Structure 1
Amino acid sequence: MKNFACSNCGNTVYFENVKCVNCGSTLGFDSGELSIVALADAGMSETAPDVPIFRKLNPGPDDVVLRYCANAEFGVCNWLTPESESNIFCKACDLNRIIPNLSEPGSLHAWRALEHAKKRLVYSLLRFSLPFDGSASSKGSLTFDFVRNALTGHLDGVVTIDVSEADAVERERQRKHFDEPYRSLLGHLRHESGHYYWMVLVDEAQRLEEFREIFGDERDDYDAALARHHSSGPAPDWQERHVSAYASAHPWEDWAETWAHYLHMVDALDTAAAEGMEGHGLRLDLRDDIYSTVTFETLMARWIPLTIALNSLSRSMGHDDFYPFVIPGSAYDKLAFVHRVIHGRGEQQQPAEAAPAETLNLTP
């Protein structure tokens, strides 16, 4: 994620901030500008007298009256929405269908963690200009259910996340149980969003033939494939063809795992560029927008050395690898396909250059 600056004093501020520690300005996230903005008090709402309203301290041509999302009162959201709109929720919170039962102990803390992760996902989707509403093409809208004792997954546009995933101890227990090298809330959300965007960007966009050539035939019995994976383990040669063991379960899971990895890569590289970080002497060009102007080949050329450097730093601090994965050549092709469908919506593009013959090893 890029860095933000207080629009009043220029001090560095961060994605979740609601107050500038330097000048004391009230801050909020403007999803139209995709930026944190400083706010000036504009009184109270006429339609909801107990709700404060604001104007931007340095407004542009769209000098509209703003208010915080209704979920700000729970400390789970710092996004802004126009006062003129009847919807009291921001663009991200409006995607929620079910939130945790706040009368249950620990639910508010869990919801804050879930929302912080979800908003990072939504931020990336906005940077890519990806659609949230597929109803025009009969695919439904991207929707989130945060439910206790539920099965994390996706069905017809609805992403369900078990609230227990917000518990670091339980998440670690699950990680070990499933023998996963990596497990996080943001990772879950990115993975499950991949299932939604498979419907919108592959199925609806008539890219199935290309998808099947790269990932395999998604018409294979999905339930039987997952049952086989959980009973017998991953395919013995999964490391030669997939980004993770779970990706070998079925072409849909291969896509979702690859989609999640692509979002990991882009967001991490965007952050590295904003911080001026270098990997093995490779300087990241701050003039490039990793979300829109970088080719897939350039993205990978940056990702590999950065990840090797960060893995080495993690080991120096006594931690596990920052990115404990290896990208084989065929998975490189799958990541390139994800890049194409994101950046070439509505048109068929030529495949990217062939992947290098050697495996891209990110854990030296």
Structure 2
Amino acid sequence: MNTFTCQCANTLHFANSKCVSCGLMLGFIPDEAKLSAFTTNQYGNLQASCNGKLYRKCKNYADHDVCNWMVSYDDNHEYCISCRLNEVIPNLADSDNLTLWFRLEQAKRRLLYNVITLGLPIEGKSPNNPTGLGFAFLQDELEDQYGNELTVKNFVTTGHASGLITININEADHSSRIEMREKMGERYRTLVGHFRHESGHYYWDRLIAHSDKINEFRRLFGDERLSYVDSMREYYKHGPSNNWQNVWISAYASMHPWEDWAETWAHYLHMIDTLETANDFDFSVAGNKIANPIPSSEIHDQVYIASSFTHLFDNWCQLTKALNGLNRSMGLDDAYPFVISITALDKLRFVHEVISNKDY
């Protein structure tokens, strides 16, 4: 994730909506992947300082302040390209849900920033594209029991189906998410991680399922035609394979090839975003500058793609060693509690190749 610069030269961060130095309104311009300051011209229109073009606030920015993305002035949509993907938003009659929705939108926009900078396709649902990308933010259905006690009647399962990514809004509640992480025996569980994982299922459908990459996928990840229901039942009954650390990026990845792909995809996006942030801050480890990890959009040579992943992973090993050391100095858990096996590394390399080839 890059930082940005206000017209007053103050450093801006992706989630900012106002410059704390000069007070100007800020907005993210998706087609340029830039956060810009805005001024009002003589006609009352918002003009970006970065390019001089006119924009409008996304409706969710103007009405609810849960977004900071902009819509081009000549675009007929009321919503930005992030918010127009929403199929269902939380019930705002519950005042607590506005805060949870804000966090959900922040995590979603961070995912979409990754998608935009990597040049991946984003196509919403439409009559001609019923399996396009969409989001539904739902909450568990509660019911009264014994007069004054609420119990869960229907649980919302975070997941993906035919392009629709469903997120249980409890994942945006920090205490609920931590409780679930401990219950599941996980060392790592984040809101943006859910978005990245579920997007992996969507992009498997887009980039792998009907492509010439399917045989290579099956060689690395296994045959996805195995019963998902049976695999899930087996996983939750007996837990992950005993040797999962030697084969998979996480315990959950061992459940089924689809989950292996989604976990690996999410992990790759974690790496890309963190390395881009380190590069933006001019971070060096032992004198070695962390390079920008975003694959070139102009070079598709296989030698370049292979070498770029090797460089990316070398940088990642250096950076995470430093991050974990810093966290331990503060008495915190490791920022990166993973060990990548050779087999998992080959899968990450495959994700890198799929994204870098850009033949979609």
Question: TM over 0.5: same fold?
Answer: yes
Q: Which string of whole-angstrom CA distances, capped at 9 and with x for unpartnered residues, describes residues 100-133 of structure 1?
A: 0011131000000000011000000000111112
Q: Shift in Å at residue 146 of structure 1? A: 0.4
Q: 1:99 aligns with which of 89, 95, 100?
A: 89
- Secondary structure of the residue aligned to 1:327 is coil
Aligned to 2:226: 220
Contact 1:270 1:290 in 2 (8 A): yes
Q: 1:84 to 1:190 in 2, by over 3 A?
A: same
- Secondary structure of the residue aligned to 1:231 is helix
Tell me, in whole angstroms, the C-alpha distance in 1 between the residues paired with 2:179 and 2:356.
Answer: 37
Tell me, in whole angstroms, the C-alpha distance in 2 between the residues paired with 1:138 and 1:326.
Answer: 39
Alignment of 1:261 onto 2:267: yes
Alignment of 1:249 onto 2:255: yes
Q: How does 1:126-165 map to 2 (within 5 A)?
A: 126-133=116-123, 140-149=131-140, 150-165=156-171
Tell me, in whole angstroms, the C-alpha distance in 2 between the residues paired with 1:58 and 1:198.
Answer: 35
Q: 1:346 to 1:178 in 2, by over 3 A?
A: same
Aligned to 2:316: 303
Q: Shift in Å at residue 279 of structure 1? A: 2.9
Aligned to 2:4: 4
Q: Shift in Å at residue 17 of structure 1? A: 1.4
Q: 1:176 to 1:148 in 2, by over 3 A?
A: same
Q: Which runs of 4+ in 1 moved over 6 A?
A: 134-139
Tell me, in whole angstroms, the C-alpha distance in 2 between the residues paired with 1:312 and 1:280.
Answer: 14
Alignment of 1:291 onto 2:282: no
Q: How does 1:89-238 map to 2 (within 5 A)?
A: 89-133=79-123, 140-149=131-140, 150-238=156-244
Contact 1:25 1:38 in 2 (8 A): yes
Aligned to 1:24: 23
- Secondary structure of the residue aligned to 2:208 is helix
Contact 1:134 1:200 in 2 (8 A): no
Contact 2:125 2:134 in 1 (8 A): no
Q: Shift in Å at residue 20 of structure 1? A: 1.4
- Secondary structure of the residue aligned to 2:176 is helix
- Secondary structure of the residue aligned to 1:210 is helix
Q: Shift in Å at residue 223 of structure 1? A: 0.8
- Secondary structure of the residue aligned to 2:71 is strand
Contact 2:25 2:37 in 1 (8 A): yes
Alignment of 1:331 onto 2:348: no
Aligned to 1:40: 39
Q: Shift in Å at residue 346 of structure 1? A: 2.1
Q: Which string of whole-angstrom CA distances, capped at 9 and with x for unpartnered residues, describes residues 278-300 of structure 1?
A: 23442224xxx421237111100
Q: Shift in Å at residue 323 of structure 1? A: 0.8
Contact 1:139 1:200 in 2 (8 A): no
Contact 2:125 2:133 in 1 (8 A): no
Tell me, in whole angstroms, the C-alpha distance in 2 between the residues paired with 1:13 and 1:134.
Answer: 29
Contact 1:43 1:54 in 2 (8 A): no
C-alpha RMSD over aligned residues: 1.8
Tell me, in whole angstroms, the C-alpha distance in 2 between the residues paired with 1:239 and 1:249.
Answer: 13
- Secondary structure of the residue aligned to 1:32 is helix
Q: Shift in Å at residue 138 of structure 1? A: 6.2
Aligned to 2:69: 79
Alignment of 1:67 onto 2:81: no
Gaps spanning 5+ residues in structure 2: where? 141-155, 297-304
Tell me, in whole angstroms, the C-alpha distance in 1 between the residues paired with 2:323 and 2:51.
Answer: 39
Q: Which string of whole-angstrom CA distances, capped at 9 and with x for unpartnered residues, describes residues 129-172 of structure 1?
A: 11112879967211110000211000010000000001111101
Contact 1:145 1:161 in 2 (8 A): yes
Q: Shift in Å at residue 26 of structure 1? A: 1.8
The number of aligned residues is 333
Tell me, in whole angstroms, the C-alpha distance in 1 between the residues paired with 2:37 and 2:175.
Answer: 37
- State the TM-score, normalizing by the size of structure 2: 0.89
Contact 1:133 1:140 in 2 (8 A): no
Tell me, in whole angstroms, the C-alpha distance in 1 between the residues paired with 2:327 and 2:206.
Answer: 37
- Secondary structure of the residue aligned to 1:209 is helix
Q: 1:312 aligns with which of 317, 325, 332?
A: 325
Aligned to 1:49: none
Contact 2:85 2:124 in 1 (8 A): no
| Matched letter for residue 23 of structure 2 | G
Tell me, in whole angstroms, the C-alpha distance in 2 between the residues paired with 1:12 and 1:243.
Answer: 35
- Secondary structure of the residue aligned to 1:321 is coil
- Secondary structure of the residue aligned to 1:37 is strand
Contact 1:279 1:307 in 2 (8 A): no
| Matched letter for residue 314 of structure 1 | N
Gaps spanning 5+ residues in structure 1: where? 45-51, 348-364
Tell me, in whole angstroms, the C-alpha distance in 2 between the residues paired with 1:130 and 1:31.
Answer: 13
Q: Which string of whole-angstrom CA distances, capped at 9 and with x for unpartnered residues, describes residues 289-321 of structure 1?
A: 421237111100100010011011111111111
